[in-house]
Amino acid sequence: MKIFVDTANLNEIREVHSWGVLAGVTTNPSLIAREGRDFIATIHEICELVQGPVSAEVIAQDVAGMVKEGKLLAQLSEHVVVKVPLTPNGIAATRQLSDAGIKTNVTLCFQPAQALMAALAGATYISPFVGRLDDISVDGRELIEQIVAIYAQDPDLDTQVLAASIRHPIHFIQAALAGAHVATVPFKVLQQLFLHPLTDKGNEAFLKDWQKVPDPDICGAVERFLATRR
């Protein structure tokens, strides 16, 4: 399962990118508004940094408007993925954008039939919202499993399942076990994926014991050893 970060904050994106595990970025109008920066400049800068899929959402609600915005957004970078809502107009726009060779991310998916409609329209990604379903006592993991199973029945469907609304590490693991191709995760949750008290405890013990080694400077020791072999 690939990892996308769900943010429009460039500092957060740079940090995750430095870990060497980032495959892409998703944004939405709320995330863009939170940063208070120019939308177009932000998307372009993210694309230049990540060099991978970057979802940029249309605002228009009519088919013609979505298609127009989507085609313009796609000109910003080859990495732009046009994000459209899972509405009848959004599905119609997805078909037109897909036919034009433009990648799409159909968002706000909450049930399997919606996911099938998006795939039939040629969506590149479908975004089931795990956390928002859990908020209303519906199993978000089951939705991912159902979508993955439905897509597997038809080899002509190549839409990728992009698990969204990931609220905590358990959602992340559930998405992976359910067969999601991608999980888009907030920066805070990505940080939490590293945390375990036994990891910290073990690392502290190793470092403490290492101070007892006669020559604890690994780099210096290696350089001196190699010098004797030249």
pLDDT tens string 180-225: 999 999 999 999 999 999 999 999 999 999 999 888 899 999 999 9
The residue whose two tokens read 């038809």 is 154
Which sequence spans correspond to the domains of the chain? 2-192, 197-229
- The reply to whether 83 belongs to the active site is yes
Mean pLDDT, range 115-140, rounded to an integer: 96
Catalytic residue among 2, 71, 83, 208: 83
Q: Is it true that domain 2-192 has CATH number 1.10.1040.10?
A: no
Is the Cβ–Cβ distance between 35 and 60 less than 8 Å?
no
Mean pLDDT, range 24-51, rounded to an integer: 97
Q: What percent of the chain has pLDDT over 70?
A: 100
Residues 6+ apart with CB under 8 A from 58: 65, 66, 69, 70, 73, 82, 83, 84, 93
Q: How confident is the model at residue 230 (pLDDT cuts 50, 70, 90)?
A: confident
Q: Tell me if the pTM is above 0.95.
A: no
* Residue 150 pLDDT > 90: yes
* Residue 66 pLDDT > 90: yes
Rounded Cα gap, residues 136 and 28, in angstroms:
22
Tell me the CA end-to-end span of the chain in Å, nearest whole number.
45
The helix (H) or strand (E) run that includes residue 108 is strand 104-109
- In 161-212, where does DSSP find H-type helix? 169-178, 187-192, 197-210
Rounded Cα gap, residues 108 and 30, in angstroms:
14
